[in-house]
Amino acid sequence: MTNSIPEIEDADCIFIIGSNTSVAHPLIASRIYKAKAKGAKIIVADPRRIHVTSVADIHVRQKLGSDVALINGVMNVILSKGLHDKAFIEERTEGFEKLEQTLKNYPPEKASEITGVSPEDIEKIAIAFASSDKSTILYAMGITQHSHGVDNVKSLANLSMLTGKIGKPSCGVNPLRGQNNVQGACDMGGLPNVYPAYQVVTDENNRKKFEELWNTQLSSKVGFTIMEMMHGLEDGSIKGMVILGENPAGSDPDVKHVKHALEEAEFLAVIDIFLTDTAKIADVVFPGASFAEKDGTFSNTERNVLRIRKAINPPGEARPDWQIICDISTRFGLPMTYESPEEIFEEIALVTPSYAGLNYARLENGPIPWPCPTNDHPGTPILHKDRFTRGRGLFHALEYRPPEELADEEFPILLTTGRFFPHYHTGTMTHNSITLENEMSEGYIEIHPYDAKDIGLTSGENCKIVSRRGEVITKAVITDIVEPGTIFMSFHFMEANANVLTNPALDPICKIPEYKVCAVRVEKLEESNTPEIKAVISA
């Protein structure tokens, strides 16, 4: 996030797009409600009638994957009404002329044709966002998990810069991170193209610096992303894999294919706290420690670095994961002799400029947001205040591109995926929590009454969902949360996992898979099953 979470409640306008906030980030949703109570305008752009739409002043249901056209349409109106921030554009940005040119192709009527959102609503969004003093954008995987996810994010950055709503309190472009430490894993260089603090591996100076620090020779070649690793296992270029606390056999698109790839590995080691579907395939599984059984730090979605502290011992012979990595590395012939997570953190601060001023003693007083370059620096809750990281903010002139897979005769319905409130990701943790499992012990699809009627489904009845990748059987819940022609499903339930169906088409730049749109067919099962009536009217 460019801004901090508490700032959200003081915004005058909150534009939520591709984030089911109350389900995936409940404590951020509570800030939205507070802002609403203080008089903020709430705009929600989401194909589903999610819970947060109940406080929305404007809710639009754009067609799946049409976000670039929607935002371009909004920006077209902002320009034509002269609501853009001319001073900000002049002083802080570049590339405006090209953007202006491209936006001419997206008058509200044209954007409406692509998105299914009325020209009036597009205009309303433009006026509300641009004419409010403090306007903030909140987004999540509904924006990123597309074959044009990078374009979607850049479009939101365009909107924010065009209206000068960045680098100021309660403004900004704010991705809501779905996992506790996805920010930290990126910061620490858990990525194939960068060392810690996003220092690119192809830059010779960066490489030399890390070669000196680590006393080694490093590769100048960008590594494989997760999906490329899976392809590598299949074509034989990858022989072995070590997986730390992840479950790609449940979380990756087209899981049938992923499981097959993992089985191809000559050697697969997994470190985890449960025997996940991925661990079941491994040659060796090491029992790790949960967050409650070790010291360390997490970095949350607002870049706050927070301590975790050991409360209890790990069960049985389980060990903290950092110790397991040290043990493997040492026996492999690369001795790692760290005594504690604090000692590791001291090395992190040494090689990570944005963490340079952080240490455990300082974090004892509470979280500090990076960048925090020196010991007396208070941390940075708001990014891009006086300048952007690259100097001037760059506008990207972007054209709408449709999703890779569209509905056709054979697969006439679009599937989109997400989370349900009591569960989390592949359910490794939440299915092992009795309270949460009691809230929801099986998955289902949400299907609109019109489609259910066409297919002949009753609410609660099992049905079969088929895509080009595979098929699953699960319950149908008939609801107007989804629009006709669209179904929704989660990937929490391994016995009926949406990722059997999802499309592994990738964004060409960041290689994110298109989880949010794929074409499916819903079939009534031939064998009759006793329907269990479950009334779900709306979110």
Partner 1 sequence: MKIEYVRTTCPYCGCGCEMLLETVDGRITQTLPSKTNPMNQGKLCIKGWNVHEFVQSPRRLTRPLLKKDGVLQEASWDEALNFTASRLQEIKTKHGGDSMAFLSSAKCSNEENYLFQKFCRVGFGTNNVDHCARL
Q: Which two tokens stand for residue 364?
A: 């004892």
> Does residue 473 touch partner 1 according to CB under 8 A?
no
296 neighbors 323 (Cβ within 8 angstroms): no
Q: Which of 282, 414, 482, 494 binds partner 1 (CB under 8 A)?
A: 282
Query: Which residues are bridge partners to 194 per DSSP?
Result: 191, 200
Asked whether position 501 contacts partner 1 by CB under 8 A, the answer is no
| Binding string, residues 253-272; x marks residues near partner 1 by CB under 8 A | -------------xx-x--x
Q: Least distance in Å: CB of 53 to partner 1?
A: 19
- Asked whether position 147 contacts partner 1 by CB under 8 A, the answer is no
393 in helix, strand or coil?
strand
Among 15, 96, 210, 493, indicate the residue that binds partner 1 (CB under 8 A): 210
Binding to partner 1 (CB under 8 A): which residues in 164-203? 176-193, 195-196, 201
Rounded least distance, CB 104 to partner 1, Å: 33
Q: Compute φ and ψ for 343, nearest 5 degrees.
A: -65, -40
Contact map string, positions 23 to 62, toward partner 1, x by CB under 8 A = -xxxxx-x--------------------------------
C-beta separation of 344 from 322 below 8 A: yes
294 touches partner 1 (CB under 8 A): yes
For residue 300, give Cα distances in angstroms to 31, 175, 433: 16, 11, 23
# residues contacting partner 1 (CB under 8 A) = 139
Considering the complex, state which of residue 46 and residue 252 has its C-beta at the smaller distance from partner 1: 252
Among 301, 380, 459, 479, binds partner 1 (CB under 8 A): 301
C-alpha distances (whole Å) from 349 to each of 360, 365, 371 are: 11, 18, 11
Closest CA to 18 of 57, 54, 64: 64
- For the bound state, the minimum distance from the C-beta of residue 102 to partner 1, rounded and expressed in Å, comes to 27
Shortest separation between residue 183's beta carbon and partner 1, angstroms: 7
Q: Mask 97-136, x = binds partner 1 (CB under 8 A)?
A: ----------------------------------------
DSSP 8-state code for residue 509: T
Q: Are the CB atoms for 423 and 490 separated by under 8 Å? A: yes
312 near 292, Cβ under 8 Å? yes
- Per the rule left: phi > 0, alpha: psi between -120 and 50, beta: everything else, 175 is beta
Quick one: 381 or 460, whose CB is closer to partner 1? 381
Q: Which of 2, 452, 513, 518 binds partner 1 (CB under 8 A)?
A: 513
Q: Closest approach of Cβ 504 to partner 1, in Å?
A: 11
Binding to partner 1 by residue 341, rule CB under 8 A?
Answer: yes
Which of 102, 497 has the CB closer to partner 1?
A: 497
304 makes contact with partner 1 (CB under 8 A): yes
The whole-angstrom separation of Cα 118 and Cα 527 is 43
Q: Which is nearer to partner 1, 101 or 432 (CB)?
A: 432
Q: Considering only residues 228-247, where is the footprint of partner 1 by CB under 8 A?
A: 229, 232-233, 237-246
Binding segment (CB under 8 A) for partner 1, from list 36-44, 71-79, 448-456, 512-520: 512-520
Rounded to the nearest 10 degrees, what angle do helices 67-80 and 149-162 cross at?
20
CB of 211 to partner 1, least distance (A): 9
Q: What sign has the CA pseudo-torsion 217, 221, 227, 229?
A: negative
- Give CA angle at 274 (268, 430), nearest 5°: 130
Give the one residue of 83, 226, 394, 397 binding partner 1; rule: CB under 8 A: 226
Please report which helix (H) or strand (E) contains residue 277, including its range.
helix 277-281
Which lies closer to partner 1 via its Cβ, residue 47 or residue 320? Answer: 320
For residue 376, what is the DSSP state?
A: T
* Binding status of residue 307 toward partner 1 by CB under 8 A: yes
Name the residue type at position 140: A
CB distance 139 to 19 below 8 Å: yes
| C-beta of 83 vs 363, nearer to partner 1 | 363
Q: Is 530 exposed, middle or buried (0-12, 13-18, 19+ CB in 10 A)?
A: exposed
